[in-house]
Structure formats: C-alpha cells, structure tokens
Structure 1
Amino acid sequence: MAKRLFDLVLAAIGLLLLSPLLAAIALWIKLDSPGPVFFRQERVGRCGVPFRIHKFRTMTHDPAPRGALITVGADARITRAGSVLRRAKLDELPQLIDVLRGAMSFVGPRPEVARYVAIYPPELRDKVLSVRPGITDLASIQFRDESALLARADDPEREYTEVVLPAKLRLAAQYVDDATLATDLRLIGLTLKALLRDE
C-alpha cells in the first residue's frame, strides 16, 4: 500500500512539473520525423497480465514493425531526436502515465515482451512477475549501455537471450526478495546518479 501511494503521488507530481518539458519533446518529435509522438508496445505486466507501455517515439514510424525487438548499436531506425532522447533516457518519461494508471511502478523489474517472457526459467517467471514492472531497477543501471554491448556481439539476439536476459532476471529476483520502500528510494537515487554521470 505504501509503495502504491508513493508511486501515485510521485507520478502525479512528476507529470505536473514536467508537463512543459513533455510538451516540448512531443513537439520536437513531430517536427523531426513523421509519425505519432508515442511508441506503444505490449509488454507483460504483473501476474502475466499484458499492458501497453508508453514511450516517446525514437525510431522512424513503421505501422507494421519488421525490425528486431532489441536495439543494437547505432540502429538506422533511430531518428535524430530519438538519439538524444535515448541517450538522456528522456524517452522513458511517458511511463509516468503507466505508473499513474497502475500498470507500472517507479521501481521494479523492467517489463519484457511476451517473446522473451516465454523463455524465462519457470522458477523465476512467477517471482519476477509477482510485482509491478518498473521504470528502473538495478538491471537498468547495470545494463544502461546494453545497446552498445549487444553491438559488439557476433549474434546480438543470442547474446541477449543467453547472457543479458539471465543476468537481468537474477537481479530482478533479488529485487523481489529484498524490496522495501527504502530499497526503491536507493535505486531511484542510483538511477539519477548514473544519468547525471553519463551526461
């Protein structure tokens, strides 16, 4: 209950205070390339219930996406505005909407698409999906350069499913075991510190 109240209050305040920035980013995206402002994609949420995640669109609009589900290095689909938004993680800000409506939390395992959830080991699947997915978690901090990491692999898809994803799942399971409001505050602080360091 305390975690949900914390999420609600912080998301509402965040959306209110950041509304000028959100509007400016939306306008930039519209001027930079044709297509919608938001990128919506079905992800697997708490208890395996699917939901549509919101992000600012950072790639060229394709009504029938045919590209990879993972982004590798300097993906040609990334727009000029998208490159900046991704680097500063500003494309994630619309997920405050998902927090407000209860599909996500500020801190929790990052939500995956069904294709990858299907290969979660059974012993970890239920645990990781027992909590709301989050905007950030320890894996997001440790793998914030994931795209560059995958770009160095001979087979990025295999590298993701056999190396990166299992590591993320271990960190997610660890979070579920140790989750407290204090843990969430610490991870939010570490996320902000990592973003400022990258900038």
Structure 2
Amino acid sequence: MKRSFDLVLVLALLAVLAIPLMFLAIAIRASSPGPALYWSQRVGRGNRLFSMPKFRSMRVDTPVVATHLLEDPSRWLTRTGSFLRKTSLDELPQLWSILRGEMSFVGPRPALFNQQDLIEARTSAGVHLLRPGLTGWAQIHGRDEISVAEKVALDTHYLAHRSMRLDFYVIALTALQVLRRDGVSH
C-alpha cells in the first residue's frame, strides 16, 4: 500500500512540478558555476548506499559533511542556496529517488555515508530496515536541531507505530512546517 501511494503521489507531483523544477535548475546554474544537481551518497534501506539528488545550494568546493558540522555554513551557500534551503526546494529532486524505490515520502531521513554514529545507532534500533523518507517523524520534531540520540528515538517510534494514517499526519505537518520555515538552520 505504501509503495503504491508513493508511486501515485510522485507521478502526480512530477507532472505538476516539471516546469518549475526546470526553472529552478536554470536559476541554480545561472547563479553559480557547477551542476544544478548535487548527488549525495546516502545510506538507504538495509544500510545500502544510493545516490540521492538535491538541488545544489552549496558551492562545488564545499566539504562533504553534514551542514551543521561546517564551521560557517553560510559561507558555502550559493546565491540561490539560502532561498532553496529555507523553502526546502533543494529537496525536490529526491522525487527521483522515490520514483526509483530508494526512498519513500515518509521514513527516517537518509544518513550521509559518513555519519557513522547515526548509522550505527539506527542499525542497533532496527531502523535501518525502513526505506528512508523525504520527511519523517524526526523531521517534524526538530529537523536539524535535534541530537543523534533524539533522532534515533524518534525514528524508532516511527518504526513501532508506522501506518498510512501516521504518514498522512507527517506529510501534513511537514507541509505546514515548510510553509512556516520551522527548524531550518541554513
């Protein structure tokens, strides 16, 4: 049921967003050198690596670490980067990963390949068995502002209580938070 929901929603969104996505890509390319998309190595279901696309909001020479680990993240942002991040538009290319079945709309956010503490904690809790999501229970409870331990506790809660009803709730709350720009650090 969940995969069918993901496919129907992703195809509908891609039909509606195809032209806006193209304009965003052009704006990114015009505002800084480099590609419009950034392909990030992420940890997926069963701890398998996959390449996850995002609209590039950082310069091409940015170190490959989680944004909160950069000394001064704003220094690395492109001219369009701050806008993309505050509006969460940089996340839209992940619709491709949902279409491919590497991600779902709701699940734990995929860890970077080098976030060993998060990967190990999720594996110990069994969370690694879930398909990662564009948004998730931890996202709506703090996003970039919570610790690894809190993230894993929230991901474990989602694992134990997952349902389509909970997914609809997470999607609705995510939409509200994106509109209010809650929990966005950069």
- TM-score under structure 1 normalisation? 0.83
Distance 1:133 1:10 in 2: 16
Alignment correspondent of 2:167: 184
Secondary structure class of the residue paired with 2:67: coil
Kindly state the Cα deviation for residue 193 of structure 1 after the two structures are TM-superposed.
1.1
Kindly state the Cα deviation for residue 165 of structure 1 after the two structures are TM-superposed.
1.1
Amino acid aligned to 2:107: G
Alignment correspondent of 1:135: 134
Secondary structure class of the residue paired with 2:138: helix
Amino acid aligned to 1:176: L
The percentage of aligned residue pairs carrying the same residue is: 37
- Contact 2:111-2:119 at 8 Å conserved across structures: no
Amino acid aligned to 2:109: R
Match of 1:198 among 163, 181, 184: 181
Distance 1:123 1:175 in 2: 12
- Contact 1:58-1:83 at 8 Å conserved across structures: yes
Number of residues of Structure 1 aligned to a counterpart in Structure 2:
180
Alignment correspondent of 2:101: 102
Alignment correspondent of 1:160: none
Q: Which runs of 5 or more structure 2 residues have no equivalent in the other structure?
A: none
Task: Give the 5 Å matches for 1:56-75.
Answer: 56-62=55-61, 65-66=62-63, 68-71=65-68, 74-75=73-74
Distance 1:123 1:79 in 2: 32
Gap change, CA 1:114 and 1:74, over 3 Å in 2 = closer
Alignment correspondent of 1:77: 76
The answer to whether 1:171 aligns with 2:168 is no
Distance 2:176 2:121 in 1: 34
Distance 2:60 2:41 in 1: 16
Kindly state the Cα deviation for residue 173 of structure 1 after the two structures are TM-superposed.
0.7
- TM-score under structure 2 normalisation? 0.89
Distance 1:180 1:76 in 2: 40
Gap change, CA 1:68 and 1:191, over 3 Å in 2 = same
Q: Which runs of 5 or more structure 1 residues have no equivalent in the other structure?
A: 150-162
Kindly state the Cα deviation for residue 118 of structure 1 after the two structures are TM-superposed.
4.9
Kindly state the Cα deviation for residue 51 of structure 1 after the two structures are TM-superposed.
0.3
- Contact 2:118-2:148 at 8 Å conserved across structures: no
